[in-house]
Amino acid sequence: MAEKKQEKFDTLKIHAGYDPKEHNYASSVPIYQTVAFGFGDSGRADRLVNFKEKGFSYTRMGNPTTAVLERRIADLDGGADAVAVGSGMAAVSYTILNLAEGGGRIVAAANIYGSSFDEFRTLFPKYGIHFDFIDDINDFDQVESAIKEDTKAIFVESVTNPTTAVTDVAALAQLAHRHGIPLVVDNTFPTPYLFNPIRYGTDIVVYSSTKGISGHGEVISGLIVDAGNFDFSNGRFKQFEEKEFVLGSEEEHEQRSFVEAFGNKAFIARIRIKYLRLFGAVLSPFESYLVLLGIETLSERLAKQVASAKKIAEFLAITPHVKAVQYSGLSDHPQHELVRKYFPRGVGAIFAFEVNGTEEQAKKILDSVKIFSYLPNVGDARSLIVNPGRTTHREIPSVNKKQSGLSNTVIRLSIGLEDVDDLIGDLDQAIHKAFE
Ligand code: PLP
């Protein structure tokens, strides 16, 4: 099943990466709840630990349940290889470290998720990795002028959290490649069902699969997919070309570089062997199983959620106490053409609206909803509501918040699987309460 890449999304989401014959014909992917795997014999042990033979030895570096998830997401995205990690933030962090380890710069959109922005602004500089933030990532002159000798990548979100601004991925990929650097896209909000960044030239895709991919608000997890097209031996990334003890032995003539050992799968192999093995934010087999279970219904969940989101956004757009609806899925949104190009199935089920009133009134809406859950997550089967300026995006400086339209009267919604009319009714009564 794993090799049949020509199959369509809905077949791959159920079968990709899993061959029941190799698992006692179990119909559901078994959970390999084990730390270690027997070497078998000393010859095989030598080959496994030197990465000369594929196989499992220790779950921090790989596990058969997790391997199914990794192959499945790679196939859904059309990538060469993928690796699962312990959270979306681990996926973001390991990707940046793998690209700019030892020092360098990354060009990044300024209107990204709060913790990513905080990490890039305040933590990575302490590791010698510096960021050039771009206010409008679709202003290509601004992006191009920020690229320097030691720039290692461009980092963007395909659809931003929470204002749903859309990034022109194809144009940015071309720009990045002209400068010999890869494009990294955080595709958490659309999930692979709504958008395939690799099809438009993206090199590395990262996910918080905590969100829509798993889809039930029950598992923190992250995924990294490599398209397998970028040449990491182009001279800018010496960490991929240097000889490694871990890929051979102490004898220099036996050592190999990641590019020599893994070819176009070097990026993911390096995350697994350097970052999972040594930094250790591994996803457990049980959590991999939960993410796999979520993926089985990804299309069905997203299709319903997107349809409901559109209806709710349209309702809010004509509600007197709403100043603006921040949802690029609406037909009068300035980015509508870009949305039509990239998102034929809709731009997503998460969006924001600005209350035409005080922050107290916005808080009253949060306190008055009965079906929506007030909590810091998105992409759940349940509908969620939050004030991002005070919570999920609190660590973004106010000047940046202002630029991306994130005031304290902005409310973010993540639409779940409940009846859409009940959801509209819930928002309607909460808004009325806030303004009575
Ligand atoms: N990327 C985006 C776009 C997110 O919205 C989030 C979390 O909200 C993350 C990354 C981090 O994911 P996690 O919470 O799984 O670490």
> What CATH number is given to the structural domain containing 312?
3.90.1150.10
Statement: residue 2 has pLDDT above 70: no
Distance 220 CA to ligand 1 centre (A): 9
pLDDT higher than threshold 60 for residue 268: yes
Provide the residue type at 299 as one letter. S
* Residue among 347, 320, 319 at smallest CA distance from 331: 347
Q: Give the pLDDT confidence of 302-338 residue by residue, as tens digits.
A: 999 999 999 999 999 999 999 999 999 999 999 999 9
Q: Is the pLDDT of residue 4 over 60?
A: no
CB 224 within 8 A of CB 233: no
Residue 155: predicted pLDDT: 98
Whole-number mean pLDDT of the chain? 96
CATH number at residue 186: 3.40.640.10
Does any ligand 1 atom lie closer than 6 A to the CB of residue 113?
Answer: yes
Name the residue at shortest CA distance from atom 15 of ligand 1. 88
| Structural domain includes residue 1 | no
CB–CB of 190/346 below 8 Å?
no
- The answer, yes or no, to whether any atom of ligand 1 lies below 6 A from the CB of 188, is yes
Last residue of a domain, one of 294, 318, 336: 294
The answer on 245 and 390 residing in a single domain is: no
112: nearest Cα among 94, 81, 87, 88:
88
Angle between helices 285-295 and 64-77 (to 10 degrees): 30
Is 4 inside any structural domain? no
Q: Which residues pair with 178 in a beta bridge?
A: none
Question: DSSP per residue over 244-298, as a string?
Answer: BGGGS-SSGGG-B-HHHHHGGGHHHHHIIIIIIHHT--PPPHHHHHHHHHHHTTH
- How much is the average pLDDT of 49-76? 96
Residues in the chain: 436
- What integer pLDDT is reported at residue 169 of this predicted model? 98
Percent of the chain's residues with pLDDT above 90: 92
Asked if pLDDT for residue 113 goes beyond 80, the answer is yes
Per-residue pLDDT tens digits for 89-104:
999 999 999 999 999 9
In a domain, 35, yes or no: yes
Residue 192: cis peptide before it, omega within 30 degrees of 0? no
Where do the H-state alpha helices sit in 78-199? 88-100, 114-118, 140-146, 169-178, 191-194
Cα–Cα distances (Å) from 356 to 320, 351, 382, 431, 435, in that order, read: 8, 17, 26, 10, 10
Distance 91 CA to ligand 1 centre (A): 9
Angle at 189 between CA 330 and CA 322, to 5 degrees: 40
Phi then psi for residue 183, to 5 deg, are -100, 125
220 lines ligand 1 (CB under 6 A): yes
Whether the CB-CB separation of 240 and 266 falls below 8 Å is answered with yes
236 with 347, same domain: the answer is: no
Q: Residue 246 pLDDT more than 70?
A: yes
* Tens-digit pLDDT profile for residues 168-222: 999 999 999 999 999 999 999 999 999 999 999 999 999 999 999 999 999 999 9
Structure token digits, residue 29: 């992917």
Residue 3 belongs to some domain of the structure: no
Say how far residue 331 (Cα) sits from the centre of its chain: 26
- Give yes or no for residue 87 CB within 6 A of ligand 1: yes
For residue 365, being part of any structural domain is answered with yes
89 CA → ligand 1 middle, Å = 6
CA distances from 268 to 65, 106, 113, 123 (A): 17, 19, 23, 23
In the sheet with 104-109, reading across from the earlier edge strand, the strands are 81-85, 222-226, 204-208, 183-186, 151-157, 104-109, 129-134
222 C-beta closer than 6 A to ligand 1 = yes
Q: Within 10 A of 149 (CB to CB), how many other CB atoms are there?
A: 7
Q: What is the pLDDT of residues 401-418, one digit of tens each?
A: 888 888 999 999 999 999
Count of structural domains, the chain: 2
Same domain flag for 289 and 310: no
Longest alpha-carbon distance in the chain: 78
Q: How much distance in Å is there from the Cα of 218 to the middle of ligand 1?
A: 14
Q: Give the dihedral of Cα atoms 386, 209, 264, 39; nearest 10 deg.
A: 140
What pLDDT shows up at residue 1? 46
Contact 413, 387 (CB under 8 A): no
Query: Do 273 and 335 belong together in one domain?
Result: no
- If asked whether residues 82 and 210 sit together in one domain, one would say yes
Whether 403 maps to a domain, the answer reads yes
Let me know whether 345 and 204 are in one domain.
no
Query: Are 15 and 159 within one domain?
Result: yes
State whether the beta carbon of 89 lies less than 6 angstroms from ligand 1: yes
Q: How far is the CA of 6 from the centre of ligand 1 (A)?
A: 30
Q: Pick from 95, 120, 210 the residue to mutate for probing ligand 1's pocket: most ligand atoms within 8 Å of its CB.
A: 210
* Domain range enclosing 178: 9-294
| pLDDT band for position 5 (cuts 50, 70, 90) | low
Specify burial of residue 54 (Cβ count, 10 A radius: 0-12, 13-18, 19+): exposed
Is 67 in a helix, a strand, or coil?
Answer: helix
User: From the CA of 119, how far away is ligand 1's center (Å)?
Assistant: 12
Amino acid (1-letter code) at residue 340: R
Of the residues 276, 294, 312, which one is the last residue of a structural domain? 294
DSSP per-residue letters across 236-258 = S-HHHHS-BGGGS-SSGGG-B-H
Token pair, residue 402, equals 């202002």
Measured distance CA(188)–CA(161) in Å, rounded: 9
CA 120 to centroid of ligand 1, rounded, Å: 14
| Among candidate residues 333, 305, 330, the one with its CA nearest the CA of residue 189 | 305
414 within domain boundaries: yes
- Measure 265 CA to ligand 1 centroid, in angstroms: 25
Give yes or no for residue 373 having a pLDDT over 60.
yes
Do both 269 and 302 map to the same domain? no
Residue nearest to atom 1 of ligand 1 (CA): 208
Q: Is 348 in the pocket of ligand 1 (CB under 6 A)?
A: no
Both 334 and 428 in one domain: the answer is yes
Could you tell me how many helices (H) and strands (E) the chain has, helices first?
Answer: 18, 12
Helices 420-435 & 359-368 angle (0-180, nearest 10): 140
164 lines ligand 1 (CB under 6 A): no
- Give the side-chain half-sphere CA count within 13 A for 228: 13
pLDDT band at 166 (very low <50, low <70, confident <90, very high): very high
Would you say the CB of residue 381 lies under 6 angstroms from ligand 1?
no
Last residue of a domain, one of 273, 294, 315: 294
d(CA 120, CA 142): 19
Contact (Cβ atoms closer than 8 angstroms) between residue 395 and residue 114? yes
Cβ atoms of 94 and 278 closer than 8 Å: no
The verdict on 254 and 171 lying in the same domain is yes
CB of 388 within 6 A of ligand 1: the answer is no
Strand 373-374 with 384-386, pairing: parallel
Q: Are 379 and 351 in contact (CB under 8 A)?
A: no
208 alpha carbon to ligand 1 midpoint, in Å? 5
User: Which residue has a Cα nearest atom 12 of ligand 1?
Assistant: 88
Same structural domain, 164 and 20: yes
Within a domain: 129? yes
The predicted structure's pLDDT at residue 22: 97
- Asked if residue 95 lies in contact with residue 140, where contact means CB atoms within 8 angstroms, the answer is no
Check whether residue 170 and residue 229 sit in a common domain: yes
